């Protein structure tokens, strides 16, 4: 795996254990697993959308769907602690701005 032997992998594992601690390692693994699941789901969504778009043409009144970059950014930012709260506050501020105008 990437030219690394068992000894190197063990050393890397020990360093990660020392840096993050035993309590944080499962959280990190859970976060990585969730991110991988989200990437796979988005990949499936895109492939299904492309198959559907091949036979259809866009109408003039249709709204543009979010791009892959926007989807990934949204999913990743939701997974990071604290960012979801900030995004909620930002949405509330935007609603207040619309009301004030």
Give ∠ CA 27-76-49 in degrees, rounded to 5: 130
Does residue 46 carry a pLDDT above 60? Answer: yes
Q: What is the domain extent for residue 61?
A: 1-65
**Does 78 share its domain with 61?**
no
pLDDT (0 to 100) of residue 53: 64
Q: Which residues of 62-77 are buried (b: 16+ CB within 10 A; e: fewer)?
A: eeeeeeeeebeeebee
Question: Is the whole model's pTM more than 0.95, yes or no?
Answer: no
Kindly state whether residues 24 and 49 are assigned to the same domain: yes
3-class DSSP state of 74: helix
More confident residue, 88 or 49: 88
Long-range contacts of 88-95 (CB under 8 A, 24+ apart): none
pLDDT category, 75, cuts 50, 70, 90?
Answer: confident
Residue 60 has pLDDT above 70, yes or no: no
Same domain, 41 and 82: no
How many structural domains is the chain composed of?
A: 2
Supply 9's token pair: 């992998």
Q: Rounded distance, CA 39 to CA 3, Å?
A: 26
């Amino acid at each position: 795996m990437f030219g690394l032997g068992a000894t190197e992998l063990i050393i890397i594992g020990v360093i990660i254990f020392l840096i993050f601690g035993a309590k944080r390692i499962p959280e990190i693994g859970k976060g990585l697993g969730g991110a991988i699941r989200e990437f796979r789901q988005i990949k499936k969504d895109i492939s299904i959308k492309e198959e559907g778009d091949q036979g259809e043409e866009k109408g003039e009144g249709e709204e543009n769907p979010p791009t892959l970059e926007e989807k990934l950014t949204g999913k990743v930012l939701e997974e990071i602690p604290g960012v979801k709260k900030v995004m909620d506050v930002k949405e509330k501020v935007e609603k207040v701005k619309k009301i004030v105008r």
